[in-house]
Structure 1
Amino acid sequence: MYTRYLNISSILARKSLFLLGPRQTGKTTFLKNLPGKKAHFIDLLKPSVYQDILRNPEYLAEVISAHENETSIFVIDEIQKVPSVLDEVHRLIELNKKLRFVLTGSSARKLRRQGVNLLGGRAAMVRFHPITSSEAEDQIKIEKLFKCGGLPFILTSDKPMDDLKDYVGLYLKEEIHAEGLSRSIENFSLFLNAAGLSQCEQINFTAVGNDAQIPPRTVIDYFTVLEDTLIGHMLPAYTKTKKRKAMTSAKFYFFDVGVGNILGAREMTTQRNPIYGKILEHFIFTELRAYLDYNFLDYPLCYWRSTSQFEVDFVIPLSAKTAIGIEVKSARNPVKRDFKGLLALEEDIKLERKIVICGADVKRKLESGIEIYPLRSFLHELWKQQIF
């Protein structure tokens, strides 16, 4: 079992929370091992529980009444299965201010689409991610995270790539069915293949539509499905530069490097191979996204590309006037052209740090202020909260 970085104790001391993340990322295991806390679980994936809660509006109150002497924390697994139960959760919270609900889910889409009661600020929103480098540090090689991603059951599998393919196929079918898109399963499958090939790049909806032979408007809708079902993330463009006009199209990343490798037909090869660079960039994205979410930091995560083709892989604005710039390179010894984007961006905004993550063996700082980081050094300092 992995020790997770996320700590929700301070939130539970104040209020209830939604814990949202893709399936099999380990949400339930995490909640069953909360330090010093015991919770009662109500699993909506169990057919009997699902039917009971649909038939009997008082079911939830009766369960809580039977267990409130044992615990004040109640976990409702897969809340999107019965979104209407949130009205009853709201009522129970109002009746007993000491009650805490942890509402897990693998889709925000159904909750939002049905316009259900999201508890009006009485519950925090927390995102849950696959295993990060800080959580796997002592147990598996980082190369395995590159190849297989961070889904816990994949990391312990004897045949991780076969199981990953099955996961992607099953997840696709179940999510398509859940979203009422079963009539479009063939179109969505074609789209998913095209999206896999375009990940880590600026999204061109028309080009993806041409590859999948579906209209651009449908492509936009399908990307929204991927975001709302937590399968993917958009990386918005940083557009506040004045000296150089910025591109505005977002980039797209799947939530897990292993899933991205399967859907993008990416095979782990040598460090000099261009595919390695894309996998490394994807991996850094997932680490940064998880770090921001787990530390409850509201900083945006962006990228920057000018119309004159200067680019910075990741920009984290700290304020209106300052940011951190991070460039990811597969080279062992990056040269000036590898970080020209960072120097160009600094002409518009003060960069508190200009970081290049690469295959170097030694961390060093150049006269220009560019910080060269070996991958492991960057990850270590990131999760020790020494980068920002």
Structure 2
Amino acid sequence: MIKRTLKPIIEGKISTGKAILVIGPRQVGKTTLIKELLSGKDYLFLDGDDPTTRQLLTNPNTEQLKDLIKDKPIVFLDEAQRVENIGVTLKIIVDQIKSTQLFVSGSSSFEISNLTSEPLTGRKWEYTLYPISWREFENYTGVLKATRQLPLRLVYGMYPEIISNTGSEFELLKQLTESYLYKDVLAYGAIRKPDIVKKLLQALAHQVGSEVSLRELSNLLSVDAKTVSSYIQILEQAFVIFRLGAFNRNLRNEIKTNQKIYFYDNGILNMLRGNLNPLETRNDIGSLWENFLISERVKKNDYQQSLAQIYFWRTRQQQEIDFVEEVGGNIFAYEFKWKPTARVKIPSSFIKAYNADFKVVSSGNFREFIG
């Protein structure tokens, strides 16, 4: 079994009088992680996908909840976003049934965070579980085997089931894309034009590493820019994509308002591109490498509870840096190249203006950046 970084972190928060929320995409192992944490313990399991469970948990009073929970010391509610007004119900459990430790999982931040943020203010520990991180993968396979599999991971991604089922990657990714990306996002996001979402995802998949223009996307999809922006926000809250804003401080010619969009998983990205060919045959290695490194850095920063802010940088004269990180008042700049021998021209104006530390991350030295 792949050991998850969050496990010891969450273990330290049990019995502190607060609910423990684990959110993240479907199929990344949230239920498995929580059940592993609860192994050997007496607990009540409630499945938010079950209609009867949803009915019992929708607007109950304190006595009804006490009757449901009885003397169980632990309650685990899975897929909590499926329950209407779940935030208020969870608040009652935390406040009125103090002897019960509450575990909650959810697959969409726009449902869970929005529904629980106000009711559970000061009453929860919240964590995001991502697809397998590179450090978790190395700990599972060993450094040598993990490094040898790097080209495969750039193509097939880091979902637990994908890693554990060699030879079935296409079928599993197809199922994951169709059931999660389309079915779940459309169900939870109040999206009125599902066909547009599919086309938008495909368009974004082909623009990874490039700046995204809402105007161009709206023209491509024949919808207004406001709709495009709204759908991008839903996809972000559903843990499909994330944004990188432009870094700007001192230089007059810096790009200020543009953004780039990346995917949390390379396997999903490649399915949307319609290309699972081996890495050595690809002409898009640069964008796959960039997406992989940045998504892995996001996992690393979150798990380490880093305060780092992340950006890209470009000037109107086309000087650019792939990735900029600002943490503790210090600025670090990174350029991504798959080949260790690739030549890189350092943008001197950026280094001088910000006294930044600059590094090139290649397939020969990437472990320090994401491990």
CA deviation after TM superposition for structure 1 residue 36, in Å: 8.0
The match for 2:24 is 21
2:332 to 319, 324, 348: 324
Measure the CA separation in 2 of the matches of 1:161 and 1:316.
34
CA deviation after TM superposition for structure 1 residue 244, in Å: 4.7
Measure the CA separation in 2 of the matches of 1:345 and 1:99.
54
The match for 1:284 is 293
* Residues 197, 265 of structure 1: 8 Å contact kept: no
Q: Secondary structure at the match of 2:131?
A: coil
* Residues 72, 100 of structure 2: 8 Å contact kept: no
Aligned AA for 1:52? L
CA deviation after TM superposition for structure 1 residue 222, in Å: 0.8
Assess, with a 3 A threshold, how the Cα gap between structure 1 residues 236 and 125 changes in structure 2: closer, same or farther: farther
The match for 1:156 is 164
Measure the CA separation in 1 of the matches of 2:209 and 2:84.
33
Q: Within 5 Å, which residues of 2 pair with 1:181-192?
A: 181=191, 183-192=192-201
CA deviation after TM superposition for structure 1 residue 345, in Å: 2.1
Assess, with a 3 A threshold, how the Cα gap between structure 1 residues 308 and 61 changes in structure 2: closer, same or farther: farther
Query: Which of 1 and 2 has higher RCO (CA within 8 Å, sep 6+)?
Result: 2
1:378 to 359, 368, 371: 368
Matched, 1:222 2:231: yes
Q: Secondary structure at the match of 1:67?
A: coil
Measure the CA separation in 1 of the matches of 2:95 and 2:337.
52
The match for 1:340 is 346
Measure the CA separation in 1 of the matches of 2:286 and 2:229.
27
Measure the CA separation in 2 of the matches of 1:300 and 1:74.
35
Measure the CA separation in 1 of the matches of 2:296 and 2:26.
18
* Residues 84, 116 of structure 1: 8 Å contact kept: no
CA deviation after TM superposition for structure 1 residue 195, in Å: 1.9
CA deviations on 1:221-271 (whole Å, 9 max, x unpaired) are: 110110122211111221223365234211111221110111133445556
Q: Secondary structure at the match of 2:353?
A: coil
CA deviations on 1:71-90 (whole Å, 9 max, x unpaired) are: xx432111111142321321
Assess, with a 3 A threshold, how the Cα gap between structure 1 residues 245 and 151 changes in structure 2: closer, same or farther: same
Aligned AA for 1:176? L
* Residues 328, 356 of structure 1: 8 Å contact kept: yes
2:320 to 311, 315, 328: 311
2:56 to 52, 56, 60: 52
Aligned AA for 2:56? D
CA deviation after TM superposition for structure 1 residue 103, in Å: 1.9
Assess, with a 3 A threshold, how the Cα gap between structure 1 residues 160 and 272 changes in structure 2: closer, same or farther: closer
* Residues 272, 331 of structure 1: 8 Å contact kept: no
The match for 2:216 is 207
Assess, with a 3 A threshold, how the Cα gap between structure 1 residues 129 and 184 changes in structure 2: closer, same or farther: same
CA deviation after TM superposition for structure 1 residue 131, in Å: 0.6
Assess, with a 3 A threshold, how the Cα gap between structure 1 residues 12 and 310 changes in structure 2: closer, same or farther: farther
Q: Which runs of 5+ in 1 are unaligned?
A: 361-373, 384-388
Q: Within 5 Å, which residues of 2 pair with 1:28-107?
A: 28-34=31-37, 38=41, 40-54=44-58, 57=61, 58-68=63-73, 73-97=74-98, 99-107=100-108
2:355 to 337, 350, 353: 350
CA deviation after TM superposition for structure 1 residue 309, in Å: 1.6
The match for 2:13 is 11
Measure the CA separation in 2 of the matches of 1:132 and 1:162.
22
Assess, with a 3 A threshold, how the Cα gap between structure 1 residues 118 and 295 changes in structure 2: closer, same or farther: farther
Name which of structure 1's ranges 263-272 and 214-223 shifts more when overlaid on structure 2. Answer: 263-272
* Residues 231, 254 of structure 1: 8 Å contact kept: yes
* Residues 16, 124 of structure 1: 8 Å contact kept: yes
Assess, with a 3 A threshold, how the Cα gap between structure 1 residues 41 and 296 changes in structure 2: closer, same or farther: farther
2:189 to 172, 176, 179: 179
Matched, 1:147 2:155: yes
* Residues 357, 378 of structure 1: 8 Å contact kept: no
> Taking structure 1 as the reference length, what is the TM-score of the superposition?
0.83
Assess, with a 3 A threshold, how the Cα gap between structure 1 residues 43 and 270 changes in structure 2: closer, same or farther: closer
Q: Percentage identity across aligned positions?
A: 23
CA deviation after TM superposition for structure 1 residue 143, in Å: 2.5
Q: What do you get for the CA RMSD once the two structures are aligned?
A: 2.6
What is the aligned residue count?
357
Measure the CA separation in 1 of the matches of 2:119 and 2:109.
11
* Residues 233, 255 of structure 1: 8 Å contact kept: yes
CA deviation after TM superposition for structure 1 residue 274, in Å: 4.4
Measure the CA separation in 2 of the matches of 1:51 and 1:35.
25
Aligned AA for 2:31? T
Aligned AA for 1:175? V
Measure the CA separation in 1 of the matches of 2:312 and 2:335.
10
Aligned AA for 1:211? L
